[in-house]
Amino acid sequence: MSSSKYNSLENLDNFDTNINTNMFDTPSSSQGMDYTININSVSGNMNSTNASSSNNNNNNNNNNNNNNRKDIQDTLDEPVLDTLLRDLNNVWAKMKQVLMPTGNQNLLKDWDLWGPLILCMTLAIRLSFSAPENQSAMVFTITFIIIWCGAAVITVNSKLLGGKMSFFQSICILGYCIFPLTIVSLITIIIDYFIIDLILVIVAFVWSVYASIGFLTDVRLSQKKTLVIYPIFLFYFIIAWMILIE
């Protein structure tokens, strides 16, 4: 009996020690290395992905900067004749837009003062030629002042009423819209009949007012159209009257 009890106790001790050693077994070194390698490989893939995306973004930015520099260099290095021809083509495109106001109305938003200056000079020279010799300089000066100061006053008026159009953009549009009146002033040199001149001036006046109102549309001025249209109407009426009396 005692020997059997001793054996059973010995078996229990061996069983307990096996349980304890099995419970606290740790992974082998090879398993730990695999685990570390997997983590490192994942982090390496993530770093390589981020690096490649950042490199792509940097390449895109560099390409855009190079294109912009190339455009600037092309514009700066081009001959003066090419620059003048390009500007004249832009001016002519905007003049045609005034003759066809229902077309691309965003064209005149890219403002310039070359076109208004050319039209103003043409009209002032035309009226000064028809004036008496001792008044030609005065007529030229008055025409020049009326066009530029009148456009500035209309622009300030629209700004005070809450318009958001820029100052030079408004002057550009008002200056380009005297194109019909300038054409009629040149036609009246050939046709010297008052009735025909009157009809042509009225048509050009209406055309100029219609075109300028169409280009100067502003959402904020929708409820104040009368206050905006009246100065424009008066501006082109004075120019038309000067053409007619000459």
CA angle 187, 190, 195 (to 5 degrees): 75
Q: What are φ and ψ of residue 91, in 5° steps?
A: -65, -45
Average pLDDT, whole number, for the chain?
74
Asked whether the predicted pLDDT for residue 165 surpasses 90, the reply is no
Q: What is the pLDDT of residue 176?
A: 92
* Span 8-66, pLDDT tens digits: 444 544 544 444 444 444 444 444 444 444 444 444 444 444 444 455 555 555 555 54
Q: Region 191-215: what's the mean pLDDT?
A: 90
- Whether the per-residue pLDDT at 187 is higher than 90: the answer is yes
The pLDDT tens digits for 125-146 are 999 988 888 888 999 999 999 9
Asked if the model's pLDDT at residue 232 lies above 60, the reply is yes
CB 123 within 8 A of CB 185: yes
With beta carbons less than 8 A apart as the criterion, state whether 127 and 141 touch. no
Task: Note the pTM of the prediction, 2 decimals.
Answer: 0.65
For tokens 């106001």, name the residue.
101
3-state helix, strand, coil in the chain (%, to 5): 85, 0, 15
Q: According to the model, what pLDDT value does residue 36 have?
A: 43
Give me the mean pLDDT over the 70-79 stretch.
59
pLDDT at position 24 is 44
DSSP 168-193: HHHHHHHHHTTHHHHHHHHHHHH---
The answer to whether 130 and 244 have CB atoms below 8 angstroms apart is: no
Residue 113 has pLDDT above 80, yes or no: yes
Q: For 62-86, what is the mean pLDDT?
A: 62
CA quadruple 74, 168, 100, 87: dihedral, nearest 10: -20
Confidence grade of residue 4 (pLDDT, cut at 50, 70, 90): very low
Mean pLDDT of 159-180: 86
Q: Please check whether residue 228 is in contact with residue 221, taking contact to mean a CB–CB distance below 8 angstroms.
A: yes
User: What average pLDDT does the segment 106-131 reach?
Assistant: 87
What is the structure's pLDDT at 74? 56
Question: Once rounded to an integer, what is the mean pLDDT over residues 184-197?
Answer: 90
